Amino acid sequence: MRVLGLDTGSTHVDAVVLEDGEVVESVKVLRDGRLVEPTKKALRELEADERRVSTTLPINALVRDRGDPVHLVVIPGPGLDPSPLGELADSMEVVEGYVDHKGDVVEDVDPDSVTAPAEHAVAVVSKFSQRNSELEAKIAEAVRDEALAVVPGHHVPRGSFPRRVATAVLSARVKRVTRRFLRSIGDVDGVLRGDGGLQTPREALRVPVNVLHSGPAAGVLGAAYLSGERDFLLADVGGSTVDLVRARDGAPMVERNATLFGHPTSVLAAKVRSLPLGGNAVLSEDGVTEETSLPACYGGSKPTITDALVVAGYHDPEPDGDPRESRRALRELGDPEEVAERVLVEVRRELRERLEGEKVLWAGGLAEEYRELTGVGEVVPHHPVCNAVGCAVAKRAREATVYVHTERGYGHVVPAGERFEVEKGRVYDEEELVELASEVAGFEPDEVSVRAFEIVRGGVRVGQWAEVWLYERPGVEPP
């Protein structure tokens, strides 16, 4: 089988095809400020039986404030002041209704009372909706035809009420642009999550911000697959940054409840340290800036780190570039050789401080140059398209929380929002709970966490309430 992996970086769209576990074709397409057309071009150039993509489009849309305005509908129930949550959205309304901590509907909602503004996406979040999504589902259905997009809070499988609200609002902002992107590039079989796990396009649209750091996560998977190493520090050289990501047992180390744009969320993503030292970083008289530009040797108008590497003899831009342009650009800052040396001494020092004593693997278009510059680590095979390889070899990974309420005779699966029946009054042991949760969630977990207690009324045991968290870890699964 031929599997295509595609990664949308800040400068290029990279794509590879793996067949029988080997890289047989690859392509790099310059983005030039665009995303859709370069992505479609890369996909057209390579034929495959299965196509998997990694994209930071939702996060980039948030950074550039290109998302939709969001109307937040909250169902907080008693004892909670929702007013601080209003700053997350463009508008907010509080709806009467109540789901208790066991998942029982104490007070129903009136869906017709919701008045979402025109041309807004809608986030609908009820307290304890992860234990019973009925109230959210009613409102989501009522506003679906008029809203630009709808994200209900029960699609977020864990986290406190404020974290789930923030995750739902941010996802609502970018759900429509994400949907447009996925539709525009045609059929894809998988979209990489920020923890390195492969998900379906439908799952990606449930919580679009879950793709945070999917590029660096793909880099770790690609480096692990191409090098055979399991524990290392990946230094991924991109146009804007050098991303440092630690691998443990062949998968990226992750952080739970990542903070996005100052808001604590429920997003699970690779733990990344980004240094503004990528090849496109613009130089000034004071050194490296946070501005980026196409290197002068490749047609840009400003001096960059890449141009310094060219003048210092680390990088040969020919036949696609002109080394004379690098010298011309650096001459604006002084003697080209002296400028290049001064800049690269700074870059070398900054990187060595963070890499010394580590088992370092380099990936990215300038991996060999940075390895030679620092004298640290090894370069992975197929380093220019390492992240795309990671997409191609990523295995399916899933997360779910299953709630069981045997007094009432039902359970609930998050994030799917599906209810199932259980035997009334039964008390399961921990092994039975994990078996039941795995069956209704539809996968065998690598990690589990169980909380359960018996329900006693009038001295009589009447059932059990339980919460089972399931996680299928990311990793590589070569085609």
Which positions ≥6 away from 202 have C-beta within 8 Å?
none
Q: Which of 30-39, 76-85, 95-104 has the weakest average pLDDT?
A: 30-39
Q: Decide if 239 is inside a domain.
A: no
Contact of 135 with 108, CB cutoff 8 Å: yes
432 strand-pairing partners:
none
Domain count, the chain: 2
* Phi then psi dihedrals of residue 474, to 5 deg: -70, 165
CA dihedral of 392, 395, 399, 404, whole degrees rounded to 10 = 140
Angle at 5 between CA 239 and CA 258, to 5 degrees: 60
pLDDT band (50, 70, 90) for residue 473: very high
Residue-wise pLDDT tens digits, 326-349: 999 999 999 999 999 999 999 999
| Per-residue pLDDT, 139 | 95
Q: Decide if 255 is inside a domain.
A: no
pLDDT band (50, 70, 90) for residue 301: very high
Token pair for 402: 């299953």
Q: Tell me: pLDDT of 435 over 90.
A: yes
Alpha helices for 193-335 (secondary structure H): 201-206, 214-227, 305-311, 323-331
Residue ending a domain, choose from 129, 148, 167: 148
Of all residues in the chain, the percent with pLDDT exceeding 70 is 100
Q: What is the DSSP letter of 382?
A: T
Residue-wise pLDDT tens digits, 218-243: 999 999 999 999 999 999 999 889 99
Q: Tell me: pLDDT of 428 over 80.
A: yes
Q: Tell me: pLDDT of 106 over 80.
A: yes
Mean pLDDT of 442-448: 95
| Per-residue pLDDT, 11 | 77
Contact of 41 with 29, CB cutoff 8 Å: yes
Helix/strand/coil percentages in the chain, nearest 5: 35, 30, 35
Can you tell me which residue has the tokens 């004379």?
324
**pTM as predicted:** 0.90
Q: Tell me: pLDDT of 433 over 90.
A: yes
| Per-residue pLDDT, 34 | 82
Mean pLDDT of 355-365: 95
Mean pLDDT of 353-376: 96
Q: Which amino acid is at 76?
A: P
Mean pLDDT of 294-311: 96
CA separation for the pair 183, 342 (Å, rounded): 47
Q: Decide if 466 is inside a domain.
A: yes
Q: Decide if 272 is inside a domain.
A: no
The CA-atom distances, in angstroms, between 67 and each of 63, 208, 284 are 9, 12, 33
CA separation for the pair 123, 151 (Å, rounded): 5
Mean pLDDT of the chain: 93
Alpha helices for 312-335 (secondary structure H): 323-331
pLDDT band (50, 70, 90) for residue 167: very high
pLDDT band (50, 70, 90) for residue 80: confident
Q: Decide if 133 is inside a domain.
A: yes
Residue ending a domain, choose from 118, 148, 178: 148
- Kindly list the strands in the beta sheet with 460-471, ordered across the sheet, starting from the edge strand earlier in the chain: 418-421, 410-414, 399-405, 460-471, 447-457
Q: Decide if 212 is inside a domain.
A: no
CA separation for the pair 42, 341 (Å, rounded): 37
CA separation for the pair 48, 18 (Å, rounded): 9
Contact of 117 with 89, CB cutoff 8 Å: no
Residue ending a domain, choose from 148, 180, 210: 148
pLDDT band (50, 70, 90) for residue 65: confident
The domain containing residue 104 runs over which residues? Answer: 70-148
Q: Decide if 430 is inside a domain.
A: yes
Q: Decide if 81 is inside a domain.
A: yes
